[in-house]
Amino acid sequence: MTGLSPTSPPGEGPIDNGGTAALKPRRRFVLSAVLAVIALLLIVGGAQLALLGGSFYYLAAGIAVAATSWLAFKGDRRDVIVYAIFLGLTLVWAIWESGSDPWRLQSRLVAPIVLGLWVCWPWLRRFRALVIGVVAVGLVAFGVWLWQVNQLQTAPQQVVQGSDGSGEWAHYGNTIGGTRFSPLSQINQGNVARLAPAWTYRTGVIAGNGLGFQATPLMVNDTVYLCTPTNVVIALDPETGARRWQYDPNVDAPDAGTCRGVSYFAPPEATGPCARRIITATTDARLIAIDADDGKPCPAFGTNGSVDLTRGFGKIIKGYYYITSAPTIVRGRVVLGGWVTDGQYVGEPSGVIRAFDATTGEFAWAWDMDRPHEHDEPGPGETYSPGTANSWAPMSGDEELGLVYLPTGNSTPDYWGAHRSKGSEQYSSSVVALDIESGEARWSFQIVHHDVWDYDVSPQPTLIDIPVGGEMLPALLQTSKSGQFFMLDRRTGKPIRPVEERPVPQGAAPGDFLSPTQPFSPTLPAFDNTVLTPQSMWGLTPLDQLWCRIKFSQARYEGMFTPPGYPRSSITYPSFLGGVNWGGISVDPERKLAIVNWSRMANYTTMVSRAEADAKGYKRSLTGGAHVGQPVAQEGTPFALLTGPFLSPLNVPCTQPPFGKIGVVDLKTGKMKWKKPLGTASDSGPFNTRTHLPLPMGVPNTGGAVTTRSGLIFIAATQERAFRAFDLNSGKLVWRVPLPAGGHATPMTYISKKSGRQFVVIAAGGNAPLSSGAGDYVMAYALPKSN
């Protein structure tokens, strides 16, 4: 009789024995095919990993999934039993290898469990109501957990003493010492949740190179001043955001960078036009002075308001040298370095540091590290020393000591250094103090010796006075891409907290050499000092995790400062993103607390012989543009290289979350007060998709924080397009708003004279490498006006 199996009692349908035998043939074959593909990937990849000395689990898992596939294809109900045994053993293995770490367990268990529901569904459907109930409860619990971890919290309002000061934001870091601290307290824990959009200004300029809108505005002279990525300087009304004037220098820069800020100069004795002026430097290498009141160039400054910064360089390929950070003004002198394109060829433009008179634009001195005691401009037929280490990041200054503090990069090309000069070896990847009157180097402290990891010192040096042994010492705090955190006496450069020279991995690329030791700061936190292992490789599924484990096993990795080698690829952790990048730190000078945000990513680097590089057409950029993931030519050295974030085929990091953190360091004790993941997965996901899931996994970040006297931290910075406020003491999230694009800038805050309200402002321009969108927004927030 049709519809009856040979073993069915008369009048009954087929007996449901469970397993895939109960599935219709077409569905069974689909399941079998999916399992077969997964099994093939696990067996091939697992065998490769085992041959590399890695875990045998993936090979065994592939065999188990293959057996399940074959049984499912045959309609044999034992497929459920085989898969259940596999799943149980996977659970045991996952706990053995991962402990209770939730992110490691997720990458090992979630996908097999989901697949198991499909395999076992013919059996589970007997208990359909129970299964649906369990899944529903799980989803609800997951949703409640997500809601709780992203819920705004309340924090006790802190007692505030002292004056709110002028209410201005007068320098890039508010103070010339770069504290990013505001004495304002109108916005506090009790009312921050009511902070709302006050005004939005759109510049009309979106960075063509994908670096975004990194400007931190000033608020001085009752005006907000900012610059766009193309160096258009804009003055806004601080209460309404209405534009007062705009100056466009019409930069000629085909593939240049960004503009992080402008500087304000108004000597008390000055009168007349340009008594108050904005000083800016451009991506086509000009220094410009503009009247702060009307936006017109200052005619007595340089030549019609401009100084040519390529003077003394010789021939420069357009786009290879330009200025990205706000000039630093100390004792009436404008000091600036410049960006030099990374990694293109030996002999790129000089990293010379120069000072100019802030009133006239006249040259004051130069510090060329290869000729450190010659401070004049080059003579006829001469140039500044090519290829020396540069200083592209924000500088700091001390008016009383007459010093300017510059963080330096490494000499180009970045990943091979046998050709570097004596001056570059001494001063690269350092913090250097120059005498503002003469340009002479007073002291230097090297953060990374013979840097071949692109660990240029990009955070602004932060100046603060610290109590030590019963006296107050003038300190300089320096964080770094390498994650080390140093506390120095800013008068002498001597460490206030201990510094140790520790042995590091050796084995340079042929023809190069390495420093046998590197400096570490053992009594201050590192950002961070994680040692990667095969077990710490991560993925959304066991398949991409397997891929990451294979790549890890194929590469050379011996901990921090593993050199870029040849012919074997290498892993660098932290990556060239940091650690701590140009966003630097914020410091509360009253509570003696440092606020630090950092990324937790790795680089994967492959050196390529010159012959192979030439055969593949790896050539220097013709426009100075250097983009993440593109070949690094390093012409004039034996090697080019490929380097970039260590990502899986799904375009997610191979290192486990969190990918970014924020924390507070007590500078009196050197201990972390608290730390937590920074950002959620809402705006990121596999293949650069936006998952819209606010998983608190921490995300990569560039940009900095601002801290207020009321005990609030304001920060955007993350790959997630959001702006947040945290309680300084507890780390509780007390405010969050979405942004139209990533806020990869440092925020600022001020008091509007018109209304007396405190405003918090962030530039939201996105960032192409972080896939955080693109925009031209200046967003201001304030408490609602009282009736």
The separation between CA 501 and the C-alpha centre of its own chain, rounded to angstroms, equals 26
| Cα gap 289→592, rounded to integer Å | 36
> Ramachandran region of residue 624, left (φ > 0), alpha (ψ -120 to 50) or beta?
left
Catalytic residue among 454, 512, 588, 776: 454
Beta bridge partners of 247: 233
Burial tier of 280 (Cβ tally within 10 Å: 0-12, 13-18, 19+):
buried
What are the tokens at 354? Answer: 């120069």
Beta bridge partners of 306: 288, 303
- Residue 421 in contact with residue 370, Cβ under 8 Å? yes
Q: Give every CB contact of residue 324 below 8 A, 6+ residues apart in sequence.
A: 214, 257, 258, 259, 260, 283, 339, 392
- In 52-155, which residue ranges form alpha helices assigned H by DSSP? 57-74, 78-98, 102-124, 128-150
| Cα gap 693→682, rounded to integer Å | 5
* DSSP class of 687: G
Task: Identify the CA nearest to 329 among candidates 394, 233, 242.
Answer: 394
What are the tokens at 700? Answer: 């990569």
Q: At what angle do helices 25-51 and 57-74 cross, to 10 degrees?
A: 160
- The DSSP bridge pattern shows strands 181-182 and 705-708 to be parallel
- Residue 381 in contact with residue 328, Cβ under 8 Å? no
What are the tokens at 390? Answer: 């540069």
* DSSP class of 24: -
- Residue 739 in contact with residue 683, Cβ under 8 Å? no
Q: Give every CB contact of residue 590 below 8 A, 6+ residues apart in sequence.
A: 162, 709
Q: Active-site residue 727, yes or no?
A: no
Q: Where are the beta strands (DSSP E) in 123-262?
A: 181-182, 196-202, 218-220, 223-227, 233-236, 243-247
Active-site annotation, residues? 454
